[in-house]
Structure 1
């Protein structure tokens, strides 16, 4: 996307005026970069805490970048944070400071939450763009409302829309319903399959981290059986399971006649729980084990966490996953897109070098996906992975 000189020449003061015109008065926030261990301990109680913002996850997923966990404070009180990943550009042309699903608010219910988010954006601009001369690249999470306020504020500060996920929609379940209301909200076909699953002799169980190897076996067998390319961050699971109880994902299994037929790993901290990984064996499909498992995960999250939402992730273009997740979201949940990446730089060269690097990366990823599709037709989004409509995997 081309960028006019006028947009790039917006000063920080101009951007501040744009946001003030939208009704937000921002406090000036203090910033503090902390160690990875202190960061993970501190953000465990944030409403907007998420897997991608965990230091333990980021160093396993993106080991070659510099990780800078930055806290934001107002009058000495921690109000938010953003794990910044500083990536050098080729040929020493500069650096890009990346925040995925950040910056995060500690308390979404604060009346000044929007103003604090704007203040965090200002602080990032002042440090990374103005002081260091880097391009900032922020990927906000999908909103639970039709308007994505985080992305709008980034735009108000002169951030430009960059790369967009190929399949951006996220399927998000409302967790704060009783059993009757939750079941009523489900799509009729989804409810039908759930009713069938409950008559199949299945049992649901929570499992501790000591049983991760059992899930690993199930997951590996499934990926081998379905022969699809795994582009996920599954290698980071061991690091996540070593975290303390607040941040550690929860592990669930479904059994039939004493045999584990399905399992799932769920991130449950904060305001939004997230489906990370699921796995099934050949018995799961006719037993409709995916319906049974997710229904009971929804109920467990409601009764054992403070999360208001359960994010099922996307579909990667698989129609079976769309039907399964849409039916589970039902009438009470939401389907909203992840917005484009938002990019900002205080000078034109930093912006041009940064966006050129992203364009090259996107082209390389597209080529890899195309090659994977040629080698294994089962990975093509035009086809449904076996059992995808059942398991959400």
Structure 2
């Protein structure tokens, strides 16, 4: 399917995307970070990495360009585009992570609409401004990641891959009985024991975040896991208004908080952000109890279809725990490789060189961390991509 885009105009940058009888006309406008965060809370495909409050804290040296797309005056989607300066002033790269996002993922022409938004980004960032456009897509609940294949057909080239790309997705639209039957037998057995331990589950207000921080600091010191998360964004996330502010859940035993979790719950995909436990949590099976009740709370109080448990960072124990929770009704799917598009040979060369250098540095740092520190080491085999995504 081909797309024809018109000139981009400021302040309302308009682009036409047409395909046979399925012509789509989009108007694109860059907005402020505050306006962007206020708009995307109702999107079906909203995620924390696309929030300005998150991205500006996580990547402070990177420019942020939130772009909103309209069709006939109605907002249909958007993308937070990050402008990454390249070393030695050799250029800039436009990075789009988990986007473009659709406001409504269930429209009949959702795929064509998404392609039209991509076309607008290509015309502006790659063709007009001469940057390499780099897109990282979500793991798709479907067996085939159609968004990935569509970008490959558009001419995007495969780039870097994550070392451990699998994401673990729990189906939230099940009854209690269906959920329990879906869990693997061992996971269900541990949950049964947890329910006999006198544990209590509670959704708490954002003001109790300091108690979670204390629990988290104690856990990371005890478990000696290397922390590659975006934990430094926590205060910015908790300062957001609904529905973007994460939910905070605690499990208590005899009045003591033994486990906690922060969960992003806007849109159709809830995401497990951070979890923490103390020394008493393991014998009490508090983690099983926490997730069981978090799943039920998300089902009953949000419109999310999936509960994304994130990855494993290569730890087989996490893989077993999350696989058991995903069960027979959920899915385990990989985050696809980064996809890159450049019309300028120089932009493609320096952009790909920057990615390659970043990968070498990150892998080297992790290897040194594994060899030189006392922290736990990954023990899970890296993922190998299926041939259909080549």
Q: Do they superpose with TM above 0.5?
A: yes
Aligned equivalent of 1:121? 118
Offset, 1:317? 1.0
Match of 1:84 among 65, 77, 81: 81
Rounded to whole Å, the distance in 1 between the matches of 2:344 and 2:58 is 30
Tell me by how many angstroms 1:89 deviates: 1.0
Is the Cα contact below 8 Å between 1:207 and 1:253 reproduced in 2? yes
Q: Which runs of 4+ in 1 moved over 4 A?
A: 11-14
How many residues align? The count is 368
Does the 8 A contact of 1:39 with 1:69 survive in 2? yes
Query: What per-residue deviation string (whole Å, max 9, x for no partner) do you get for residues 320-368 of structure 1?
Result: 1111101100111111100000000012111011000110011000111
Point out the more displaced range, 370-379 or 112-121: 370-379
SS at match of 2:67: strand
2:153, 2:202 → 1: CA distance?
47
Q: Contact between 1:172 and 1:334, CA under 8 Å: does it hold in 2?
A: yes
CA contact (8 A) 2:224 2:374 kept: no
1:142 maps to 2:139: yes
Relative to structure 1, is the Cα distance of residues 84 and 179 closer, same or farther in structure 2, using a 3 angstrom cutoff? same
Normalised by the length of structure 2, the TM-score is 0.92
Q: Deviations over 1:173-221 (max 9, x none)?
A: 0000110111111111100000010001111000100000000000011
Q: Which runs of 5+ in 1 are unaligned?
A: 1-10, 384-393
Q: Retained in 2: the 8 A contact 1:24–1:115? A: no
The equivalent residue for 2:55 is: 58
Give how far 1:159 is off. Answer: 0.4
Give me the whole-angstrom Cα distance separating, in 2, the residues matched to 1:12 and 1:364. 38
Q: Give the match's secondary structure for 1:264.
A: strand
Aligned counterpart, 1:309: 306
Give 1:26 shift: 5.1
Q: How does 1:103-182 map to 2 (within 5 A)?
A: 103-182=100-179
Contact 2:191–2:288, Cα closer than 8 Å, also in 1: yes
**276, 284, 289: which one pairs with 1:287?**
284
Q: Hey, what's the Cα distance between the residues in 2 that align with 1:256 and 1:200?
A: 8
- TM-score with structure 1 setting the length: 0.91
Pairwise CA RMSD: 1.7
Among 23, 26, 31, the alignment partner of 1:29 is 26
- Offset at residue 27 of structure 1 (A): 1.2
